[in-house]
Amino acid sequence: MSDYDYDLLTIGAGSGGVRASRMAAQKGARVAVCEEDRVGGTCVLRGCVPKKLLVYASEFASEFSDAEGFGWTVPKAHMDWPKLMETKDKELTRLNGIYNNILSSNGVETILGRGTIIDDHTVEIAGKRYTAKNILIAVGGWPTMPKLPGIEHAITSNEALELPELPRRMVIVGGGYIAVEFAGIFAGLGVEVTEIIRADRLLRGFDDDLRSELEREMVKRGINVLSSTTVESITKKENHYELTLGSGEVLETDCVMYATGRKPKVAGLGLENAGVELSDKGAIKVNQNYQTNVDSIYAVGDVTDRVCLTPVALAEGQALVNHLFGDEKNADVDYENIASAVFSQPPLGTVGLTEAQAQERYGKVDVYTSGFKALKHTLTGRDERTFMKLIVEPKSDKVIGVHMMGPDAAEIMQGIGIALKCGATKAQFDATIGIHPSAAEEFVTMREKRPEE
């Protein structure tokens, strides 16, 4: 019998923590997971799921408008925000129940409360101490806001998902994927949206063509994008807020949302008690097997600030279990060619390298692009373009980057991601018969390289 209460004690019941705990228990380990909030984590409770539900809700306005071109007469619609919040919360409660059942049905003990590390084998939860042979930290990340006068009047994406009522005007500060997605959501729901970014363009780190194309489409949808702009202060007035910009201009709004970054949620974990090392960005440092500098303490997911995506946390949780309790002692996750999406409006899908990254790694690359109006909009009259891009390494003919903006981009890019994992070449893309009529077929019919500048 082990000298410890558990073989694995997981702090944090989000995607990575639940996956690791469940799979470890299935391999016969004695497992407990502690959680100070509801089980499910950021993705289920404060991120992917509720945000995507709101994206769906916000798209109906344009669908109602587009229907006229197809012969439908749609009465004037009304958005019942409290009703949307009610149905969204009902679904989150259902998912929370499913996650609780996943843990209990696999023999994982759930302990309510925030876990604090006492030493390399001990965690204190709600005043009681538990010991474990291995401790896993999977607490995820949390929104951050800058220090400036009046910042206490701003909300983050957490609060944006639970607003009691829709504001008439809203300012979203930030140019990353969270800011872009919420700008589309609230604009689609009829809110007058201004997005403020410090950079010259949205979505730093994405392919430059994709960034430019999306900003153009967002502006068409009525979103006011203020680039190369900073906020110096926020002042609460009787019925609104005033933002003083770096230029001296004053902007009035009814709601201020900051989406300027997230950081690992390590405060109060007691990492210093065991001597767990952090990076200069405050993330937990781990090796290829997700082990910290303390042999018995591991970490997966956003708290390590590697690739902050739910499917990555799931893969890391599985890999860790294989390392600790399975036959695979070096179960690395392949971080190359991870497909991802931005649920902006229109949405983006991307996998592989951006053009700039490809040029830095390989020098000269071949680029193929296509831009067109989707067949649907030939009848709706909507001025919306779809954009696609292929990046090819000419010596091997391998496709090393694929990017898309347009309807169903996420669904299409999942399949493209498989092709890139398999090392597909441009010749193999060209030899693939397309599905007609579809936007996806454009990826296998691009023949003309973009001329070199």
Q: For 217-275, how does the pLDDT look when each residue is reduced to its tens digit (9 = 90+)?
A: 999 999 999 999 999 999 999 999 999 999 999 999 999 999 999 999 999 999 999 99
Among 378, 369, 75, CA closest to 210: 369
Peptide bond into 164 cis (omega under 30): no
Among 117, 133, 223, CA closest to 179: 223
Q: Token pair for residue 281? A: 């960005």
279, 285 contact by CB (below 8 A): yes
What is the rounded distance in angstroms from the CA atom of residue 10 to the CA atom of residue 30? 11
Taking 50 as the pLDDT cut, the residues of the chain under it are: none
What is the rounded distance in angstroms from the CA atom of residue 391 to the CA atom of residue 418? 16
Tell me, what's the pLDDT at 329?
Answer: 58
Tell me, what's the pLDDT at 133?
Answer: 98
Which DSSP symbol is given to 228?
S
Q: Token pair for residue 1? A: 């019998």
137, 267 contact by CB (below 8 A): no
In what order do the strands lie in the sheet containing 348-352?
Answer: 340-342, 348-352, 398-405, 385-393, 366-373
Length of the chain: 453
Q: Show the CA angle centred on residue 296, arms to residues 292 and 298, nearest 5°.
A: 40
Which DSSP symbol is given to 3?
S
CA 76, 79, 83, 89 torsion-angle sign? positive
Tell me, what's the pLDDT at 452?
Answer: 79
Q: What's the gap between Cα 11 and its chain centre?
A: 21
C-alpha to C-alpha distances, 4 to 33, 113, 153, nearest whole angstrom: 15, 20, 47
Tell me, what's the pLDDT at 330?
Answer: 57
Tell me, what's the pLDDT at 20?
Answer: 97
pTM over 0.85: yes
Number of H helices, E strands in the chain: 13, 21
Structural domains for the chain: 6-142+263-325 (3.50.50.60), 151-260 (3.50.50.60), 340-444 (3.30.390.30)
Which DSSP symbol is given to 317?
H
Tell me, what's the pLDDT at 328?
Answer: 64
Name the residue type at position 227: S
Exactly one of 121, 153, 403, 436 is catalytic; name it. 436
What is the rounded distance in angstroms from the CA atom of residue 346 to the CA atom of residue 327? 44
Tell me, what's the pLDDT at 326?
Answer: 84
Tell me, what's the pLDDT at 385?
Answer: 96
Task: List, for residues 321-332, the tens digit of each pLDDT value.
Answer: 999 998 765 568
- 436 annotated active-site: yes
